[in-house]
Amino acid sequence: MITQKIGKYAYKLQFSEEVKIHPVFHVSQLKKHIGPKSIPSPYLPMVNEDGTIKTGPAEVLQVRQVPRHNIPVVQWFIQWQNLSPAEVTWEDADFIKYAFPEFFQETTQAWHAAERTT
């Protein structure tokens, strides 16, 4: 529900208390409600204390090596949790290893297990 218009192009929305999302949106992010019923989305993304969307690696889609200062660097094409498929990124495998150690370990262990069965 809209609780306040802020300036020309922003609106403050009312959410239930357990939803931790910044309540102010630009008009381009909103859609007109049509009909007598409202159906809340159960798929709101989780957010950090500062209102940014919580994310982490969900899946490795591809692997490549790129040269950096004449040294091969392994990169993973990452699909991120709570982000759209259009927001996949190439990340250094070492970055994933240190920033998301559990995901790195689970992923590499699954690859090694798959190699042993083929």
Q: What pLDDT band is residue 70 in, cutting at 50, 70 and 90? A: very high
Quote the pLDDT of residue 96. Answer: 94
pLDDT of res. 93 = 95
Q: What's the pLDDT tens digit per position in 11-21? A: 888 877 777 77
Domain map (residue ranges) of the chain = 1-47, 57-117
46 Cβ partners below 8 Å, 6+ apart? 20, 53, 54, 82
- What is the arithmetic mean of pLDDT over 5-14? 85
Tell me the pLDDT tens digit for each residue of 20-54: 778 888 888 877 777 777 666 666 666 777 767 77
List the single range of 18-27, 39-48, 69-78, 82-91 with lowest mean pLDDT.
39-48
Residue with tokens 């209102």: 51
CATH number, domain 57-117, options 2.40.30.200, 2.60.120.10, 2.40.50.40, 3.40.50.1580 = 2.40.50.40
pLDDT of 98 strictly over 90: yes
Of 70, 66, 115, 54, give the one whose Cα is nearest residue 93.
66
